[in-house]
Amino acid sequence: MEIFFLGVGEACDTAHGNSSSLITTGNGLRILLDCGFSVPHQYFRIVEQPEQLDIIWISHFHGDHFLGLPLLFLRLWQLGRTRPLTIIGQKGIESKVKTVLDLAYPTFERKLSFSFDFHVLHAQSSISVAGLQWSAALTQHSQYNLGLLLEDGSSRLYYSGDGRAGRHARELIQGADFVIHESFSMVDTFPYHGSVTSTLQLAEELDVGRMALVHLDHELRRNELPAIEAMIQTVPHAFLPVAGNRITF
């Protein structure tokens, strides 16, 4: 797989954008992991062809993870997309997506030149879509959030969305080749967010390949970056990505 980090920040991070990654699987499928406010502009800086996006995964319904969808759809329509777009998420994904599209651009869905293909993934379950295995676990977050394990037959990628990893999420993380995990604070200050400390503990306690720490509080990143980098350097397979990083594993 290949990961392109479109953004690595939280909702209010003007320097690093909302956390989102573009995944290219071993069989060439392109998958967008979450689509917050800033994501469409970042996406269209690197992708010009409207048909290239195959699937969108939405981890939960906070704005910095899914309110970029109307703008993404608008631009895909402007560019002439005709191929159906697959969208995968928790129960209610279809109604949420269509509601925010109508709020942003009333009646616009009727004009779209492409259709949506929705799939629902429940916590602690798996589905097969487009030849890939999708497995989910509920995380500890203020909104119902699903951590995702994506498998293409040769690589296993875990993406946390938001939230601290509980038992079921840890089971998905175990053995993953690559983990993208939110790390909002330095320590576990907030009950519904991970932290730099707890994410690094996951990297040390579980059998994983590489561990990327994203979604840091923007003030924490600005004020404590040397201390954060020093902590990360103690865990050889952990790192702090920035927008624009491209990793193949």
Query: Distance between CA atoms of 148 and 162, rounded to whole angstroms?
Result: 11
β-strands 20-24, 2-7 pairing: antiparallel
Count of other CB atoms within 10 angstroms of residue 27: 11
Query: What's the whole-number average pLDDT of the chain?
Result: 98
β-strands 246-248, 2-7 pairing: antiparallel
- Let me know if 16 is exposed, middle or buried by CB neighbors in 10 A (0-12, 13-18, 19+): buried
Average pLDDT, stretch 177-206?
97
- For residue range 78-95, list pLDDT tens digits in order: 999 999 999 999 999 999
pLDDT score for 67 = 98
188 catalytic residue (yes or no): no
Residues in the chain: 249
Query: Distance between CA atoms of 109 and 5, rounded to whole angstroms?
Result: 29
* Phi, psi dihedrals of residue 185, rounded to the nearest 5°: -115, 175
* From 64, 152, 162, 217, active-site residue: 64
pLDDT score for 103 = 98
pLDDT score for 199 = 98
Question: Could you give all domains of the chain from N- to C-terminal order, each with its CATH number?
Answer: 2-248 (3.60.15.10)
Q: Per the structure block, which two tokens stand in for 188? A: 């576990």
Query: Distance between CA atoms of 33 and 14, rounded to whole angstroms?
Result: 19
pLDDT band at 112 (very low <50, low <70, confident <90, very high): very high
For the chain, what percent of residues have pLDDT higher than 70?
100
- For residue range 130-181, list pLDDT tens digits in order: 999 999 999 999 999 999 999 999 999 999 999 999 999 999 999 999 999 9
pLDDT score for 23 = 98
More confident residue, 238 or 48: 238
Task: Give this prediction's pTM.
Answer: 0.97
pLDDT band at 100 (very low <50, low <70, confident <90, very high): very high
pLDDT score for 109 = 96
Query: Distance between CA atoms of 76 and 178, rounded to whole angstroms?
Result: 29
pLDDT score for 240 = 98
Query: Distance between CA atoms of 203 and 174, rounded to whole angstroms?
Result: 9
C-alpha distances in Å from residue 87, one per residue of 80, 211, 215, 221, 225? 19, 26, 22, 32, 35
Contacts of 236 (CB under 8 A, 6+ apart): none
Amino acid at 85: L
